[in-house]
Amino acid sequence: MIKHCYRFALATLIGLAGFVHSAQAASYPDRPVELVVPGPAGGTPDVVARMIGEQLSDALGQQIVVSNRSGASGFIGVQAVQRAKPDGYTLLMGFAQTMAVNPVTFKSIPYDPIHDFEPIARLADFELVLAVPASLPVQTLAELVTWLKAHKGEAAFGSFGPGSPSQFAGETFGRLSGTDALHIPYKGSAPLVTDLVGGQVQYGFVVLQVAQQLARSGKLKLLAVTGKTRQPSEPDVPTMAEAGYGEVEATGWYGLYAPKGTPEPVLAKLEKDVDRVMNDPDLQARLLRQGVRPAFAGRAEFGAYTGDEIERWRAIAAKTGFTAQE
């Protein structure tokens, strides 16, 4: 009898908890939602997050508050969401570096991109562009290769961090072109671009959105993009494949994640509203002007894609002989 009463009470509590959970999810969101960007304000992930967040605020009927938590190769921002209450009020703007490259380039990281998060949606893709200082006497990728071979031992290329897609693109390009340039890793895109403009490094693979502004002001020259097709915002810049280096395909992406355990109805609502937002022609046009391609994919597809991307970058790292960092 006592055992029967205990089971009944336990079932009642579980049912009540489920009811409360469902009720909370049904009213979601009833307060502002924090969108964590594991990078600095003004960076490309931040710009994309704010553009999409503005539209998503209207769709949800609550403000999306973008919070920049940079540092430690993105670990700080990602862990903030990993540790957050799984109620849909703390979301992560993840991207290739934090969710696919870090697991490959570090021997251990303090989070698991697959098991610690709920994928909500893939948002957009981006490419890097091979940029050179305006002062370098080259106009094409072929001319850059000729110049590098003539200045063997004198040239350097910059990346926006050790083990970054920027480094892998540079290492792969050097191997394919038979050139030998010293790799100089920077702590982010801003210092890399500063030295690139100043001629301290002779070339670098830079996020297109950053480089194209400097190219339009005459401070950089853009020689080739790393994507499969030309960028609508820079139609005159060829792809690496068109220039004969198709293996250099350093593409990246942005996606939305929630902490593991976020209620299913909340995830479903977010997926539906993000889909609607990402299909807005005005937002798509604004993203394209930033050198970012809208590329929506839902929860199931995006979850599988994250895993595939980790393996893709693992293969790229192996080809370049990269040694994982402590």
The whole-angstrom distance between residue 84's C-alpha and the CA centroid of its chain comes to 21
Helices 264-278 & 44-60, crossing angle to 10 degrees? 110
Q: Which residue has the tokens 């040694």?
A: 323
Contacts of 143 (CB under 8 A, 6+ apart): 137
Domains 33-126+252-320 and 127-225 alike in fold:
yes
Query: Quick check: 60 and 6 in contact, CB under 8 A?
Result: no
- pTM for the predicted model, two decimal places: 0.86
Per the document, the length of the chain is 326
Predicted pLDDT at 118: 98
The fold for domain 33-126+252-320 equals D-Maltodextrin-Binding Protein; domain 2 (3.40.190)
d(CA 238, CA 250): 15
**Alpha-carbon Rg of the chain, whole angstroms?**
22
Which CATH number does the domain 127-225 belong to among 3.40.640.10, 3.40.50.12780, 3.30.1330.30, 3.40.190.10? 3.40.190.10
How many CA within 13 A on the CB side of residue 285? 3
- pLDDT tens per residue across all 326 residues of the chain: 555 545 554 445 445 444 444 555 678 999 999 999 998 888 889 999 999 999 999 999 999 999 999 888 899 999 999 999 999 999 999 999 999 999 999 999 999 999 999 999 999 998 899 999 999 999 999 999 999 999 998 999 999 888 889 999 999 999 999 999 999 998 878 889 999 999 999 999 998 888 988 999 999 999 999 988 898 889 999 999 999 998 887 888 999 999 999 999 999 999 999 999 999 999 999 999 888 999 999 999 999 999 999 999 999 888 888 888 87
Task: Parse the chain into domains and list their residue ranges.
Answer: 33-126+252-320, 127-225
Write out the two tokens for 107.
Answer: 């021997």
* Cα-based angle 150, 153, 156 (whole degrees, multiple of 5): 100
Predicted pLDDT at 17: 45
Q: SS3 of 6, please? A: helix
Instruction: Tell me which DSSP letter residue 140 carries.
Output: S
Please, what's the largest Cα pairwise distance for the chain?
91
